[in-house]
């Protein structure tokens, strides 16, 4: 009987030991899997951050107008200043096979790029092939780099164009801080396919500073008005 009890105790201890080893092995494997998943997550985040930093070609968000002009992608292109008001400026050019390019800068820092199709659809025409082909081309080009987009609206039928809003969104991608959207832009009696590529992180601080300056100016103006009112009250 004692021998039997001894055997039972040994078996229990052995099973317990094996189970402990098995649990430890599972824990080690889980820790390894978690570490691999974290490494992959960090690598993917770095890839997204890198992609989000680029606007088009070798042009990065946050670049100045002179850096844009000196970029490889614009080396053989004619860039002209399109519009300047306050701290805002626009420069335009064109790239063969892509379309018209507009660079939008704030405090001489790039934050948005517009690509517009060369093909225009006028409301007086019946052929929409140019704008339709441009939309599909933009979708294909960006899908190859960023994967399938999130669809918002279908491409409208010919008789629906005149009732479209000024900007009609078709699809978009979000890559880190960068947003890409493909739209139809309505200007008076004609339409264009347009891709907007935007990343505001490099100019947000400038915008905040502008807001602070405006708030300070308004506060000072309010103080000055109160002083004037006080002086008038004393006269009365």
Confidence band of 52 (pLDDT split at 50, 70, 90): confident
Query: Per-residue pLDDT for 3 more than 60?
Result: no
- Inform me whether the pLDDT recorded for 44 exceeds 60: no
Establish if 221 belongs to a structural domain. yes
pLDDT number for residue 201: 85
Let me know whether 220 and 138 are in one domain: no
Sign for the pseudo-dihedral over CA of 176, 116, 132, 58: negative
Number of domains making up the chain: 2
Between CA 18 and CA 75 the distance in angstroms is 69
Q: d(Cα 111, Cα 98) in Å, to the nearest integer?
A: 20
d(CA 79, CA 63): 15
Judge whether 87 lies within some domain: yes
**Does residue 86 lie in a domain region?**
yes
Which is it for strands 121-122 and 150-151: parallel, antiparallel or unpaired? unpaired
Is 230 found in the same domain as 146?
Answer: no
Residue 208: is its pLDDT beyond 80? Answer: no
Domain boundaries, position 128? 53-204
pLDDT of the residue at 186? 84
Strand partners, 173: 180
Average pLDDT over residues 33-51: 60
Residue 118 resides in a domain: yes
Q: Is the residue at 18 inside a domain? A: no
Long-range contacts of 222-231 (CB under 8 A, 24+ apart): none
Same domain membership, residue 132 and residue 236: no
Q: What percent of the chain has pLDDT over 90?
A: 32
pLDDT attached to residue 43: 54
Reported confidence tier of residue 45, pLDDT bands at 50, 70, 90: low
Is residue 178 domain-shared with residue 226, that is, in the same domain? no
Taking all residues of the chain, what is their mean pLDDT, rounded to a whole number? 78
Residues 87 and 200 in one domain: yes
- pLDDT tens by residue, 74-94: 988 889 888 777 788 999 998
CA 65 – CA 131 distance, rounded (Å): 30
Residues 191 and 236 in one domain: no
Nearest Cα neighbor of 196 from 111, 132, 92, 75 is: 111
Taking the C-alpha atoms of residue 209 and residue 212, their distance in angstroms, rounded to an integer, is 5
Does a structural domain hold residue 68? yes
Q: Please indicate, yes or no, whether residues 103 and 174 belong to a single structural domain of this protein.
A: yes
Statement to judge: residues 196 and 217 lie in one domain: no
Highest averaged pLDDT of the listed ranges 83-92, 158-167, 194-203? 194-203
Same domain, 226 and 112: no
- 89 and 120 housed in the same domain: yes
Whose CA is closest to 161, among 199, 105, 106, 122? 122
Do residue 66 and residue 111 come from a single domain?
yes
**Domain membership flag for residue 1:** no
If asked whether residues 85 and 124 sit together in one domain, one would say: yes
Is pTM beyond 0.75 here? no
**Domain-embedded: residue 20:** no
CB–CB of 77/93 below 8 Å?
A: yes
């Amino acid at each position: 009987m004692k021998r039997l009890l001894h055997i039972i105790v040994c078996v229990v201890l052995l099973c317990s030991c094996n189970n402990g080893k098995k649990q430890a092995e599972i824990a080690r494997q889980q820790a390894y899997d978690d570490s691999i998943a974290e490494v992959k997550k960090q690598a993917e985040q770095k890839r997204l951050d890198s992609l989000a930093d680029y606007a088009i070609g070798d042009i990065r968000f946050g670049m100045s107008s002179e850096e844009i002009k000196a970029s490889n992608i614009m080396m053989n292109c004619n860039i002209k200043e399109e519009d300047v008001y306050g701290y805002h400026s626009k420069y335009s050019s064109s790239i063969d096979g892509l379309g018209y390019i507009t660079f939008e800068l704030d405090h001489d820092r790039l934050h948005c790029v517009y690509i517009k199709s060369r093909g225009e659809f006028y409301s007086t025409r019946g052929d929409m092939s140019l704008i339709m082909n441009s939309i599909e081309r933009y979708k294909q080009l960006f899908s190859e780099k960023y994967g399938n987009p999130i669809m918002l609206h279908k491409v409208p039928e010919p008789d629906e164009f005149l009732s479209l809003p000024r900007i009609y969104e078709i699809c978009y991608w979000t890559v880190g801080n960068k947003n890409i959207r493909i739209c139809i832009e309505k200007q008076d009696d004609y339409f264009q396919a347009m891709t907007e590529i935007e990343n505001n992180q490099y100019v947000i601080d400038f915008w905040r500073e502008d807001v602070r300056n405006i708030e300070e100016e308004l506060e000072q103006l309010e103080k000055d008005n109160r002083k004037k009112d006080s002086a008038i009250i004393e006269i009365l």
